[in-house]
Amino acid sequence: MPVSHTYPMSEEISLEEVDLLTSQVLDEAISSDDFARLETLLLNPVYRRRYLDLMLQESLLHWEESKPESLTFEDPIKPRLFPFPIISAVAAIFVAVGGMIFIKFPDILEDFYLSEKEVTFHKSSVDSDKPINPQTHFSASGVDATFLLSNPSASASAYETAEFQAKHGIEALLKNRTFDNKGHISLHPKFSTWSRLEKCGVPSENGVLPLSGSDMFKFSQMVIDVDSQIAEIAETIQVVDLRNLQDSFGEGSATVDAAVLFNQAHGVANDSTEFTLSIHALSCSTENTHESLASSKSTILSDLSPQSWEEVKSEIVLPEKTDFLVLAFSAKKIGPDALIADASHHYADNLNINLSLQSSGVRTVIEIL
Amino acid sequence: MTKEKFPVEYSRNLTSIQRSLYAYILSLLPNRTDAEDVLQETNLILCQKASEYDPAGHFQGWAFKIARFQVMKQITKNKRSKLHFNNDIVENLTTDDFDPERIRITQKALQYCYEILPEHMRTVAKMRFREEMNLKEISVKIKRPLGSISATLHRIRSNLSKCVQNKMLAYKREAEY
């Protein structure tokens, strides 16, 4: 059992200083003078110990963030509240894929050390009602993910989660990462994917059984807008790096079709939920910007039975310069039921994604998921 | 080590030290993005060096040694652009505090302490730790000055730290009882 540390009063004042300087250094808000002061303090073993305590705490706060609504940790005594997958994912993917990379893709390894790209999204004006939306305009710089908006009038905060996830997934793939703490990365000879499906998987709960296998995807809690009585959540599920396949796109020769089934649990909220599956084709136009080239979405209104799953399909023709494909799910409630949407639970299962390539009259279908 | 043993033993070892490794790297390189990059590089090297590892040796110690070397490399790379600890500090930050048992207990205490944070602190904590927003982004989002966000994060960390200490003392008393 580790021992908690107590300190004499004379050291307490400087411990507070260590706390403050450590917090500043972690937030990249420290001056060079204060950094030098922290270095001096760290020569003392008592302060060094406190610094290490704070660093351990900080690393756990960042590391354990994967549960949607709050931090939940693996508890070896009680049953696990959340099947924490990060560690096993990291090593399993790393070991399984790592060897393959070294042997088969030495250029990836080389790029891994060289790549320093950062990702930002530039504002687009996606008309998401059209099944396929050709080239869109980009009017402003800055971080945005309007390409994920199924309804531009909806509360933007409902889409912030999706924005962060998409941004993170693309960045992980651009950097040729082989593992990531927010999603599973899979490398294939022609494409690579970043996926949150396994990380957000839950076994049967609230009267809903997975449609197949032992897990199903669980949506995060909806963001409720009390004034408009709309509750909504959008989540990026999968990012696919298609840059190696780009030569095969153009003139309608490449299409992606996706299908997924949605369900909602019984709860105090007893109205239907509107589920949407959306697919977005993005290009990597410059060093650090992306633009939405096309998107498609399909929506379904669920029934109230947790026993039945409703299927949604969507298809998109990939424009010539497509670099990345982003798949997102959203769930929405409208009316008085939306006000108690935080007591609702929503699920998805059996996601399939296929890429069809037409070349010289021959159609090749690649199963992405 | 034989090739057959690599997937099982080696991946198990690698899996079990990920939290400790990240905590150790972050303490040497207190910048989350840099620490994550170094964690990746260290993991890659650990995979490359799998055949060199002696199963009778101390895996975590060996991995930490490689991590420290990678941290030094990163520090050299960013020498002119970022603040970094000098070699004496890096050498003196021991690895003893990152043993798996200690991390397990800290995790358990932190879970409890996070849940009892006041609501306004949880909002900021969520933005910083879960959504990985920087101070400027948080400041814009909740319309408060940067200095105020910085102070709130300091209070969050201090509150958590005090609570974790108390909780760990309670666990210790429970164990003794």
Question: Residue with structure tokens 């207190």?
Answer: B30
Task: Convert the pLDDT of each residue in B119-172 to its tens digit.
Answer: 889 999 999 988 889 999 999 999 899 889 999 999 999 999 999 988 888 877
Query: Which of A34, A47, A73, A97 should we substitute to test contact with B (largest number of B Cβ atoms within 10 Å)?
Result: A73
Write out the two tokens for A65: 């963030």
For residue B117, the distance in angstroms to the closest alpha carbon of chain A comes to 11
**Could you give phi then psi for residue A256, rounded to 5 degrees?**
-120, 130
pLDDT value, residue A187: 83
Size of interface A-B (CB pairs under 8 A): 191
Q: Do A2 and B106 touch (CB under 8 A)?
A: yes
pLDDT value, residue A12: 57
CB atoms under 10 Å from CB of A177, counted, come to 21
Residue among B22, B86, B160 whose CB faces A63 most closely? B22
Residue among A27, A74, A87 whose CB faces B150 most closely? A27
- Quick check: helix, strand or coil at residue A3? coil
pLDDT value, residue B57: 80
- Residue A270 contacts residue A337 (beta carbons within 8 Å): yes
Residue among B107, B122, B160 whose CB faces A74 most closely? B107
Q: Is the Cβ of B5 closer than 8 Å to some Cβ of chain A?
A: no
- Quick check: helix, strand or coil at residue B150? helix
- Quick check: helix, strand or coil at residue B51? helix
What does R_g of chain A's alpha carbons equal in angstroms? 23
- Residue A316 contacts residue A295 (beta carbons within 8 Å): yes
pLDDT value, residue A11: 57
**Could you give phi then psi for residue B156, rounded to 5 degrees?**
-60, -50
pLDDT value, residue A155: 53
Query: Which of B88, B154, B174 should we substitute to test contact with A (largest number of A Cβ atoms within 10 Å)?
Result: B154
Using CA atoms in the order A140, A144, A150, A153, what is the torsion angle rounded to 10 degrees? Answer: -70
Q: Is the Cβ of A82 closer than 8 Å to some Cβ of chain B?
A: no
pLDDT value, residue B58: 85
pLDDT value, residue A278: 92
Task: Convert the pLDDT of each residue in B36-95 to its tens digit.
Answer: 889 988 988 888 888 887 777 888 888 999 999 999 888 888 776 677 888 878 887 877
Residue among B35, B129, B135 whose CB faces A65 most closely? B129
pLDDT value, residue A341: 75
From chain B, pick out residues whose CB is under 8 angstroms from the CB of A12: none
pLDDT value, residue A287: 55
Question: What's the CA gap between B159 and B136, in Å, rounded?
Answer: 22
For residue A58, the distance in angstroms to the closest alpha carbon of chain B comes to 8
From chain A, pick out residues whose CB is under 8 angstroms from the CB of B79: none
Q: Is the Cβ of B81 closer than 8 Å to some Cβ of chain A?
A: no
pLDDT value, residue B170: 81
Q: Is the Cβ of B48 closer than 8 Å to some Cβ of chain A?
A: yes
> pTM higher than 0.95 for the full model?
no
- For residues B99-118, average pLDDT: 86
pLDDT value, residue A270: 64
Nearest to residue A207, comparing CAs of A134, A131, A306, A110?
A306
**What is the DSSP track for A121-167?**
EPPB---TTSSS-----B---SS--GGG-SSTTS-THHHHHHHHHHH
Q: Is the Cβ of A24 closer than 8 Å to some Cβ of chain B?
A: yes
From chain A, pick out residues whose CB is under 8 angstroms from the CB of B91: none
pLDDT value, residue A89: 39
Q: Is the Cβ of A22 closer than 8 Å to some Cβ of chain B?
A: yes
Tens-digit pLDDT profile for chain A (369 aa)? Answer: 444 455 555 555 688 899 999 999 999 889 989 999 999 999 888 898 899 999 999 999 987 644 333 344 333 333 222 233 344 334 444 444 444 333 333 333 333 323 333 333 333 333 333 333 333 322 222 333 444 444 443 455 666 678 778 888 888 888 888 778 788 888 887 888 999 988 788 888 888 888 888 889 999 888 877 777 788 889 999 999 988 887 777 666 888 999 999 998 876 666 788 899 999 988 876 555 677 888 888 888 888 788 889 899 999 988 888 889 999 999 988 877 777 777 778 999 999 999 888 777 777 777 887
For residue A194, the distance in angstroms to the closest alpha carbon of chain B comes to 16
- Residue A295 contacts residue A147 (beta carbons within 8 Å): yes
Question: What's the CA gap between B92 and A45, in Å, rounded?
Answer: 9
Nearest to residue B110, comparing CAs of B169, B165, B30, B31?
B165
